[in-house]
Structure 1
Amino acid sequence: MYGLLTRLMALSPEGDAGRNALVRAVCADAMSLPPLPAQGEPDDDTVLAEFAEQFAVDVSGISAEQRAAFMSALGDKAFRMIGLIFVADFVPRVRSGLTSLGFAPVVEPVVWDRDTDPLDVLLNQFVPTVGALRALDPVTTEVVRLRGAVAHNCRLCKSLREGAALDAGGTESMYSDIEQYESSSLLSARHKAALRYVDALIWTPSAIDADVVAGVREHFSDAEAMELTLDVMRNAANKIAVSLGADAARVEEGTERYLLGLDGQPVYS
């Protein structure tokens, strides 16, 4: 997993080094975190900078006008650039989270990858690799996923329910408590510790409270804490769809059951 994070940091597609440097600087500044290393100087691109900043601060706040301007300005590079924005946005959060939990730092790249499609590394390699991890129990994994769905207002994510979590005791009553988890009598102390950490990575990654860290360390093993951190990033890939307005629910009413396969890919009935 550390190797995949380093690969994501190494992405600097041919012709986009300046844009990549820009979004890395903008996203880091929005989160008050150190930026990822970048190749060259940032471009001066107001449309891209504003889109990347809103993506990092609150992706659900991207307006139709911002989206249209971004798509028009980037043209056929728009989807690749959103992948780069996501890396600039979320890898610093993960680095901060791992550091706060006492894990070794993620190694920075020494060679730039100018050829690989960012979305291929992100969606076809990183996301399923994290999805295949099984240190966490399925109910905690689902509770964490649904907290991210609410935070980013992903309609698609909110319309889904993972089957293994349902079979292991996850209920709609429990899930409905996620938005007000501190007062819930259905969510366990372990769930609440995880959710505090999720919120910290999403909203205050530069200032993860010592009590939040202590809660994770009290309730989760090293393997579980690592998976929990990576799950927050995996789930946050929904920001890509939300930013494009492509997060429509799979069902008009209620929810749809799916299974997270052993390969980390969702399986729908």
Structure 2
Amino acid sequence: MHLSPIENPSSSWLKLAYKASAKRFGKVIGPLKVIYARKPGLMVLALHIQRTMEHGLSLEPSLRRLVQVQAARQNGCTFCEDITLAEAIRQRVGAEKFAALADYRTSPVFTERERAALAFGEEATMRRSVSADTVAALREHFSDVEIVELTWLNAAENYFNLQAAVLGIESDGLAALASAPRKG
């Protein structure tokens, strides 16, 4: 990490956020200790974006997770990849597609709809634009509203990726924690 994590915040509001993070993920997550402990007001924005990603889109959860993990990998954000995989494990989204993600164009585990979304997200992330052919392929499988949602989801994921990757916030091992048998 490029900034030292703040392990013991002074604010009672942040202490509550640390407890909530530990309860949900099994530990206090890196961005909370590095970003939001220094600038708590940004957490309100991040939580709103995260809630919208989780509950404000009509796209199926498995597709959202694939698009998010793909962007995180492209941006070199191991934290974002890890937290998204942890959520996929909690939601019982199969690991097979995540393992084959690098080969989404040819792997038989992906549907044409998934391939179109992943090609769109990949091109948008890498080039900051998309070709007419990519949009045409997307339109075969998605409504206009879903295209807007995919665009927004990919942009939101890139937003989080760029914060964590630039600040050197790495994986917290959340996917492993989510895979571990629950005690008690």
Shared fold per TM-score greater than 0.5: yes
Partner Cα separation in structure 2 for residue 254 and residue 125 of structure 1: 26
Matches for 1:1-269 after TM superposition, within 5 Å? 119=42, 122-159=45-82, 160-163=85-88, 166-167=91-92, 170-206=93-129, 208-236=130-158, 237-251=160-174, 254=176, 256=178
Pick the structure with more strand per residue.
1
Partners of 2:65 and 2:88 within 8 A in 1: no
Larger radius of gyration: 1
Deviations 1:74-117 (A, max 9, x none): xxxxx69xx9xxxxxxxxxxxxxxxxxxxxxxxxxxxxxxxxx6
Q: Which runs of no fewer than 5 residues in structure 2 stay unpaired?
A: 4-34, 180-184
What are the superposed Cα offsets for residues 92-143 of structure 1, whole Å, 9 maximum, x if unpaired? Answer: xxxxxxxxxxxxxxxxxxxxxxxxx6x3574143343343223101111111
User: Secondary structure in 1 aligned to 2:110?
Assistant: coil
1:33-73 Cα offsets, whole Å, 9 max, x none, are xxxxxxxxxxxxxxxxxxxxxxxxxxxxxxx8xx68xxxxx
Structure 2 CA distance for aligned equivalents of residues 163 and 211 of structure 1: 30
Counterpart AA for 1:185: P
Root-mean-square deviation (CA), in Å?
3.0
Deviation, 1:242, is: 1.4
* Greater RCO, CA 8 A, separation 6+: 2
**Aligned residue type for 1:233:** A
Alpha carbons of structure 1 residues 246 and 165: separation in structure 2 relative to 1, 3 Å:
closer
Give the letter aligned to residue 134 of structure 2.
V
The whole-number CA distance in structure 2 between the counterparts of 1:177 and 1:246 is 25
Structure 1 unpaired stretches of 5+: 1-63, 69-78, 84-116, 258-269
Count of matched residue pairs:
143
Q: TM-score, normalised by structure 2?
A: 0.65
| 1:250 to partner: Cα distance | 2.8
